[in-house]
Amino acid sequence: MLMLVDCSNCRTPLQLPPGAAAIRCAVCKSITRVGDPRPNPPAPPPANRPAASSLNGHYYPPPAAPPQYYGYAPRPGPPAPTAHHRKKAVIVGVSYRYSRHELKGTINDAKCMKYLLINRFKFPESSILMLTEEEVDPYKIPTIHNIRMAMFWLVQGCQPGDSLVFHYSGHGSQMRNYTGDEVDGFDETLCPLDFETRGMIVDDEINAAIVRPLPSGVKLHGIIDSCHSGTMLDLPFLCRMDRTGRYVWEDHRPRTGTWKGTSGGEVISFSGCDDDQTSADTSALAKVTSTGAMTFSFIQAVERGQVSNPTYGSILNAMRSTIRNADDEIGGGVVTTLVTMLLTGGSAGIGKRQEPQLSANEPFDVYAKPFSL
């Protein structure tokens, strides 16, 4: 069984492999030895990379309700200094290179999202953690362990006024739910690079890691470009919108009494499709290069919005129109050019069309609430 220990320098929880006497932190690179209470000095950063502490300016203790990773909870650190209006993002792009699951557009999605956050929404580059197969740092490869640690880093020490973003482009799947907390009877899952040997990340874990810990005054946006992604953050409410733009909020709160909301913060998620749909990895939209249809349509809606002050409703409608129009022009090509989702055994050309979704921890007027990151 894997053992969880705190980094002796920054207090990030680390999964210690069986029999290991020491482990290097994925965030600050310092080495923690099991049973050694003495703190270790942080490792010097490589010459071509900023110091690890510049990723978020300071190291902070876990939030008041730290995420539970299947029974493990990180120990609280020292009191956090006051900090407000920080922007932090985790961007994950998984291409599954050289495998039967390979996707062509996910790393392009990650790069485009990073560019958007830096240039449009003024996120400091040092506060964006990129996980792709192109990264040289082994702790930034999108494995299940690294994605889990990145999610913890994203919410660690968040303060009122902070704006957080979690973007994922890669495969998504479903598995049967046996706890009764899913309306449709299925859990949604993200598929890390090593999912075939290490398993998938279930929506319950994502919710526990980055949704439930959020305190009042903190805002998180999920942008999930994968198959079966409608409720990937397991949020309590889903905006069910028809083609005319009329909508109702569906109540997805579990009947089992499990709380899937926040600790007072705000979470809003855009996703590539409904839970029973697949998402496209295609060159039909960008023409020149492959992209995820959802990521492309989201960036288009934000950058070229039909309105000067976009709302969540106008962005969702613009995303759906972009995909629907391209799909109509090429006779369903956006869907049929999808790399077939081998995980579920389904065919990309069969089933419902891809329709981006919006979910949230609390209902709101989607045409009145301004969009902001």
Is 102 in the same domain as 12? no
Taking 80 as the threshold, does the pLDDT of residue 54 lie above it?
no
Is 337 in the same domain as 199? yes
Distance CA 301, CA 349 (A): 26
Is 138 in the same domain as 36? no
Residue pLDDT, tens place only, 280-301: 554 444 444 567 788 989 998 9
Residue pLDDT, tens place only, 101-155: 889 889 999 999 999 999 999 999 999 999 999 999 999 999 999 999 999 999 9
Active site positions, annotated: 171, 227
Asked if residue 61 is part of any domain, the answer here is no
Could you give the number of structural domains in the chain?
A: 2
Which amino acid makes up residue 362?
Answer: E
Asked if residue 37 is part of any domain, the answer here is yes
User: Rounded to 5 degrees, what are φ and ψ at 300?
Assistant: -60, -45
CA-closest candidate to residue 227, choices 351, 359, 366, 360: 351
Asked if residue 102 is part of any domain, the answer here is yes
Cβ distance 89 to 220 under 8 Å?
A: no
Distance CA 171, CA 224 (A): 10
Is 103 in the same domain as 23? no
Is 123 in the same domain as 206? yes
pTM above 0.75, yes or no: no
75 — pLDDT class (breaks 50, 70, 90) = very low
Asked if residue 146 is part of any domain, the answer here is yes
Cβ distance 260 to 281 under 8 Å?
A: no
Assigned token pair, 361: 């921890």
Which amino acid makes up residue 135?
Answer: E
Domain that holds residue 39: 1-46
Distance CA 274, CA 257 (A): 24
Place of tokens 């922007």: 87
Asked if residue 72 is part of any domain, the answer here is no
Taking 70 as the threshold, does the pLDDT of residue 347 lie above it?
no
Asked if residue 333 is part of any domain, the answer here is yes
Is 98 in the same domain as 3? no
How many helices (H) and strands (E) the chain has is answered by 7, 17
Asked if residue 324 is part of any domain, the answer here is yes
Q: Edge to edge, what strands does the sheet with 186-190 contain?
A: 172-176, 186-190, 201-202
Assigned token pair, 188: 């949604």
Is 216 in the same domain as 299? yes
Residue pLDDT, tens place only, 256-265: 777 889 999 9
Is 354 in the same domain as 228? yes
Q: Are strands 13-16 and 3-6 parallel, antiparallel or unpaired?
A: antiparallel
Asked if residue 63 is part of any domain, the answer here is no
- Report the greatest alpha carbon distance in the chain: 64
Is 221 in the same domain as 270? yes
According to DSSP H, which parts of the chain are helical? 106-119, 144-155, 195-198, 203-206, 293-303, 312-329, 333-336
Report the CATH number that the domain containing residue 195 is assigned in CATH: 3.40.50.12660
